[in-house]
Amino acid sequence: MKHFIEYAKAPSVSKLSDIFGIQVASVVEALKALQEYHGVVLQPVSHEVWVAHPFSAAPTNFWIQSGDMGWWGNCAWCALGAAALLARDLTITTTLGSESKQIVIEIINGKIQNKHLFVHFPIPMEKAWDNVVYTCSTMLMFESESDISMV
């Protein structure tokens, strides 16, 4: 997590091998175990870290910006979690309800400045890890409860 925060990207398998002084194969096995525990999501072929909640190593609909640093959040919930974890003033740029209207959510001193937004969780949490990448893609921001009901 520290690497994601400091470098705005996941450490590579080879970087983890160097950091811990172990073989790449051992890193891959450890990452697979962490994935089974739902600690990360790995790329299916390379076993590189794809997701370490609340951060994504791949572009998403949630861009988190603070100064000259930027991170991808997996979903609305993760973007807000990343904001709490980063503990700094920042913005989250996303689109509403997967439509074309882009918004910028401001977080200053740990407080969300946009009070009129809603996060929708369409998939029950007990089913989230059936396909967590898909689940995250459905956790979006909306301007009203009536907008949610239109989805």
User: Alpha carbon 44 to chain centroid distance?
Assistant: 18
Q: What is the pLDDT of residue 151?
A: 72
pLDDT in tens, 33-51: 999 999 999 999 999 999 9
CA dihedral 83, 84, 90, 93 (to 10 degrees): 30
Give domain limits for the chain: 2-52, 55-149
Please give the Cα distance from 37 to 40 (Å, whole number). 8
Pairing of strands 69-73, 62-66: antiparallel
**pLDDT tens track for 71-123:** 999 999 999 999 999 999 999 999 999 788 999 999 999 999 998 999 999 99
CA distances from 78 to 5, 128, 140 (A): 14, 13, 10
The structure's pTM equals 0.91
Q: Which fold has domain 55-149?
A: Beta-Lactamase (3.30.450)
From residue 130, alpha-carbon distances to 40, 72, 74, 81, 122 in Å are 14, 22, 16, 21, 14
| pLDDT at 1 exceeding the cut of 90 | no
Q: Percentage of the chain surpassing pLDDT 70?
A: 99
Rounded distance, CA 74 to CA 137, Å?
7
- Say whether 38 sits in a helix, a strand or coil: coil
